A and B are shown apart, each in its own frame.
Chain A
Amino acid sequence: MIERARHLSEFQIALRNFRKNRLAVVCVYVLSVLYGGALVAGFLSPYLFKNEDRNYSYAPPTPVKIFTEGQLTRPYVPAMELTFNEYNARVYKIDLVKKYPVRFLVKGDEYRLLGIFPCRYHLFGVEAPGRFYLLGADARGRDIFSRLLYGGQVSLSIGLIGVLISFMIGLLIGGISGYYGGRLDDILMRLCEMVMMVPGFYLLLALRAAVPDSFNSVQVYFAIIIILSFMGWAGLARIIRGMCLSLREREYVLAARGFGLSDFKIVVSHILPHTLSYSIFAVMLSIPGYILGESGLSLIGLGIQDPYASWGNMLSDAMSIVRIKFAPWILWPAFFIFLTVVCFNVIGDALRDCLDPMLKAEGEAQ
């Protein structure tokens, strides 16, 4: 019997090694759930992010009951009524007489599915006078679960788009700088150092100052992405430059030059692909920085503005720490920020481990 030899490409080998890391694979699934949830936030959430009811300020998570007097029934939520105790603190009384059955595919606030199709159906919810707060309510009586999903759209996408922009700039500037060397290299690297020399958060604040107050939420969102990418490219550019300095001396680059390829083409299609294995895990490990940057900015009120949700600005409620005591559920966004950051870190580390042999092999070939 002839045994067929299987040939695996370097990429396939890396993928196989990656799959061996159980934790990293779990993290990929967790991230998929988070991103998927954010993508169809309108459908999964019972309410729109700005649907508020001031009668339910800081309402606790609604209990879901499945028993009526010992009998198993369909799940329902009891009505909640706002009362005040002797210290004038809010107490929500549960009224078991009024029941609102939990329904699936209920009609509610209109939203746009995937940002395109107008739709009124929500995966679950309760009929109008009842309110269903899966994870509690915020100061204005908005559903935290819904806002987490909508906030994920902002917080999760900022990381991806930001990293994409800053890596394109970083790769290009690093590549050009390393390939040409000389005067151009000097100027570009001084520019890099200038950006890196300013403490990150100060630069963030100064850049934010340049965004006009007249911007609307969408414009602010893009402004924040641009600000974060402006801060992120320098570190990568320096490392890519170092790699290109040695790559440009290789024979195949000489050959490409001999064939009369344009410099730009050589950099983009012959030099930069060799820095790919480094870039892949560097991307993963730098996404948390963007997410935390946005959260930090929104936390102090300079990021995404109310009523739009982002994990950072939802957390700004918890800045007055006394609230944490009587409404601990306002800390949910922090948990999701943490979860996302952990996942990206684990995946980044796993990628580095399985791409490293390739990096080492490249180093030895020189």
Chain B
Amino acid sequence: MDTSFAYILHLADNALILGQRLSEWCGHGPILEQDMAMTNISLDLVGQSRSLFQLAGELEGKGRSEDDLAFMRVEIDYKNCLLAEQPNGDFAKTILRQFFYDAFSFHNYTALLQSSNEQVRAIAEKSLKEVTYHLKWSSEWVIRLVDGTEESLLRMKTALLELWTFTGELYTPVDYEIKAAESGLGVDFDKIKTLWLEEVNKVFDMAGIKVPVGGWMQKGGKKGIHTEHLGFLLADMQYLQRTYPGQKW
């Protein structure tokens, strides 16, 4: 597989899978304004995935459309980080997952403004405007929930225990990311790691909670080795395309 195709596909999968997860909240949020905010972020993410899938399809050059790429692959072909596919859990878990992802995405897109590929730069520029807002929103909620009540703090601590293990994968590059960095298409992961940790520490300090020290980090999503959750997400998302292949909607 062409490494630049794999690299862009991975970025698209991150945005799609997290957007799909977040959209499950629509109509069920704890506060009407936050229900809207989550749907809005989900919309942005799916929108970003569309631009990236279109670009991936062009790079691949086999005539696959955004929908072919989004809907007609199997579990082991998806390259999203494990964090993105984790179930929503309670609002605390959703917020923390979003914050960890936004902190990565913000610095990743900022770095991609310097990509050697013009289309990537354009996508990064548009996405960065959206992600800046997402990061502000999720950071504020991290602070609010940690500094809120005993219950909200306990829920955040539980979410942290569940999710921390999936964060290492965000800034640990796999082969196609290393190649993308070398060619100038992608980003320097040493820098992203430092920036991500600084961002998380900054917000955790404001909230009054500590980043866990050490701990084993899960990985595999970027190489197609997923948690059990992804299969169900895909079964749901791909249902119509799989039941009625090749039709127009």
The yes or no verdict on A and B being binding partners is no
Residues of A near any B CB (own CB < 8 A): none
